[in-house]
Amino acid sequence: MLRGIDLTVRPGEVVALLGANGSGKSTTVKSVIGSVPLDDGDLELFGTPYGRFRAWQRIGYVPQRTTAASGVPATVREVVSTGRLTQHRLLPFRRRDREAVDRALAAVGMLERAGDGVANLSGGQHQRVLIARALVARPDLLIMDEPMAGVDVDSQQVLADILRREVERGCAVLLVLHELGPLEPLIDRAVVLRDGCVAHDGPPPKGVGQHALPGHDHVHPHADDHRTSQGLLA
């Protein structure tokens, strides 16, 4: 549960939400995208109250990667194309939609894997596909939930480079992270949550022990906590 979180992400800013499991990071992000309803308080997206917000193409959402495969095979291109639905809606998928998908796939370096099944990808490749899906619509705000979870070190660097390019383009980023890792140089502001409250809001905390080491990968048994809490809240 979240208590008294007052958080504003400004244009072009990279904000990291940090904190232990169960501190409310994912819940915060899910309430921003409307998956978890607010009991109380206000939510504004790009200055519009949540209830009247329609410009969803301005938000690119990268959910926490799950290993659960869907029941039917799908290719990388098919998954990424769902990010374009905001633009073409009920119209047929045209050439410029296809080009937008190609561009997003190229941005994450997955264009040559476009025809492959998503079930055969590694953790890092899968994460890149999810980012491409969010980038298709050229969002002004990227919301990412644990983008580094289960991603190997090389891919983490690739992800950091992708993110840097998006930030240079002027995109704001709200990230849920376990540790800063290779993304540290990009982050303007860190918000540390503890028990659903803001414990720190300011420059990223320096030197957080071995959690901040490059290559330190937070895949540990507690990862399950997230899944159960999502199920109950969603």
Nearest distance, CB of residue 167 and other proteins, angstroms:
20
Residue 186 interacts with other proteins (CB under 8 A)?
Answer: no
State which of residues 35, 103, 107, 157 lies at the interface with other proteins (CB under 8 A): 35
Whether residue 163 contacts residue 148, with contact meaning beta carbons closer than 8 Å, is answered with no
What is the Cα Rg of the chain in Å? 17
Residue range at the interface with other proteins (CB under 8 A); choices 4-12, 73-81, 103-111, 157-165: 73-81
Nearest distance, CB of residue 200 and other proteins, angstroms:
8
State which of residues 124, 186, 187, 226 lies at the interface with other proteins (CB under 8 A): 124
State which of residues 18, 131, 175, 176 lies at the interface with other proteins (CB under 8 A): 18
Half-sphere exposure of 228 (CA within 13 A, CB side): 7
Write the single-letter amino acid at 120: N
CA–CA–CA angle 165, 178, 47 (5° rounding): 55
State which of residues 104, 162, 178, 186 lies at the interface with other proteins (CB under 8 A): 178
Sequence-separated contacts (24+) of 94-103 with Cβ below 8 Å: 100/136, 100/137, 100/138, 101/77, 101/136, 103/136
Q: Which residues in the 81-120 window bind other proteins by CB under 8 A?
A: 81-83, 85-86, 90, 93, 115-117, 120
Q: Which is nearer to other proteins, 140 or 152 (CB)?
A: 152
